[in-house]
Amino acid sequence: MSSIIDIKFELESNKLDSIKADATIVIVKNKDLSHKWVTQEDELKVQGFEGSAEELCQIGNNIYVGVPCFDSDEIRLALCNALKKIKKSSYKTISIGSYSSKRELNISAIVEGAILGSYKFDKYFTKKSSINVEKIIISTEDYSDNKIDETKANEEIKFSFAVANATNMAKTIVNSTPNDVTPQRLAQLAKELTIDVPNTNCFIGDNEYLESENMNLFLAVNRASCHPAKLVHLSYTPKNPKKVITLVGKGLTYDSGGLNIKTGSYMSTMKADKGGACAVLGIFKAITELKLDVELHAVIGATENMVGGDAYKADDVIIARNKDSVEIQNTDAEGRLVLADCLSWAQDKIKSDYILDFATLTGACVVGLGEYTTGIMGNNSKLKHQIGANNSGELSSMLPFNKYLKKTLKSPVADICNISSSRYGGAITAGLFLDNFITDEYKDKWVHLDIAGPAFVERDWGYNQTGASGAGVRLVSYWINKLIKD
């Protein structure tokens, strides 16, 4: 399932105006039209271009785009908008200068903005289109006259190229339809990430394996589907890893809500309920391509949640893999059931320094944080902050656990209920439900990421297209990269 944007990025030590290219992108900071790279100030003023945020103007072969500052995400957005402006042109080579800020080199932002912004999901169209740009030449001449470290710049190009294309791969899988990407197909796509990749392995467990592991919550969700469930375990084991990290992803290739069936408007985008699994696959792809010194495990629970005579029901009590009894009060709170068994399995089978799970888990997270922000939860405030506070461009916010919301998960007939007795704080109570299946050994090593908001948005936003954004891939790839370098 190819989604690679194969633009080549080259670093060149010549000044911007001496680089031979079909067109040049000039980023204008905070309406500053007096900079030496703005060679057509009078023409720009005639066109009414001021250099405001996201303002664009093309004069000849120069594309001018405004930004308020040189923060990385503004640079990403500028590249995305500039390439949109010329996507129908015949330009094959583009030149651009360097735009360092006080904190960042921003070469990575140029690469990511170009690759993420050029993505188009046209898998099911007969006629496909692609951008003509083949190469972007980045001059080491800097807008602010800072000295550019070429070794670091080339490292940023390599890292960002891998991460951005892995993000686009995740987008494509999320965007793909449920009749195309079934649990079996999702498992196959995962396995393909290990073909001819050194130090990797793939294990796929079927329903019989799940039964042998007493993964009864996972199996209950799968019961009404004609497609068997799949437990996927990808591993990457380099020789001298600095850390061992396990990623667990919710892989609901379609979610009808089960017997608590969704209404039509809420069901129509449920192909995106595999967003957590796709984030895990994207991170695995990026880290293995970059050959980072981290042992990485990717665990995915792939299934559908469907309606049928054998569907699990509200009022059922099911024994989880960890032997806790779970009262079912809503069959549409199924993702946490799959994750509970997968998290239990991962803790028993893999000795990890960190465990992160990813899921399009709750509409409550979208209500609380909006469509564009990931909710980060767990017991370790320092770890949550480290994951959320990076320069990836993904928006995130921490949601706090508390003992009072935990009490709302009590059941009169079982150890725990799969939904809260309160209508409020639903994202946090879902996280607290998962916390019940985290052993004491891993309480401070585990983080839950609810990506229900940004994983799939039905409109363009920033440098993200309508549909999937690959939420989680850049956020955690940046964190892993920093973790092993510090």
Written as six digits, the tokens of 135 are 């190469």
Written as six digits, the tokens of 345 are 């399995």
Report the alpha-carbon distance of residue 15 to residue 295 in Å, rounded: 41
Given the residues 185, 274, 321, 336, the one annotated as active site: 336
Report the alpha-carbon distance of residue 153 to residue 271 in Å, rounded: 38
CA torsion angle for 343, 358, 1, 283 (degrees, to 10)?
-90
Distance of CA 206 to the CA centre of its chain: 26
Report CA-CA distances (Å) from 289 to 161, 186, 282, 402, 431.
10, 20, 11, 40, 31
Q: Torsion-angle region of residue 368: left (phi > 0), alpha (psi -120 to 50) or beta? A: alpha
147 is catalytic: no
Report the alpha-carbon distance of residue 477 to residue 283 in Å, rounded: 6
Give the number of residues written for the chain: 486
Amino acid letter, residue 64:
Y
Helix-helix angle 72-85:107-118, to 10 degrees:
40
CB burial string 401-429: b at 16+ within 10 A, e below: eeeebbebbebeebbbbbbbeeeebbbbb
Q: At 12, is the secondary structure helix, strand, or coil?
A: strand
Which residues are CB-neighbours of 144 under 8 A, at least 6 positions away? Answer: 70, 99, 100, 101
Report the alpha-carbon distance of residue 33 to residue 296 in Å, rounded: 48
Task: Please tell me what DSSP assigns to residue 220.
Answer: H
262 is catalytic: yes
Strands 446-450 and 373-378: antiparallel
Tally of CA atoms within 13 A in the half-sphere of 54 that contains its CB = 7
Tally of CA atoms within 13 A in the half-sphere of 121 that contains its CB = 19
Beta strands in 306-440 (DSSP E): 317-319, 325-327, 354-359, 373-378, 395-398, 416-417
Given the residues 120, 262, 349, 406, the one annotated as active site: 262
Q: Torsion-angle region of residue 475: left (phi > 0), alpha (psi -120 to 50) or beta? A: alpha
Q: Give catalytic residues, as residue numbers.
A: 262, 336
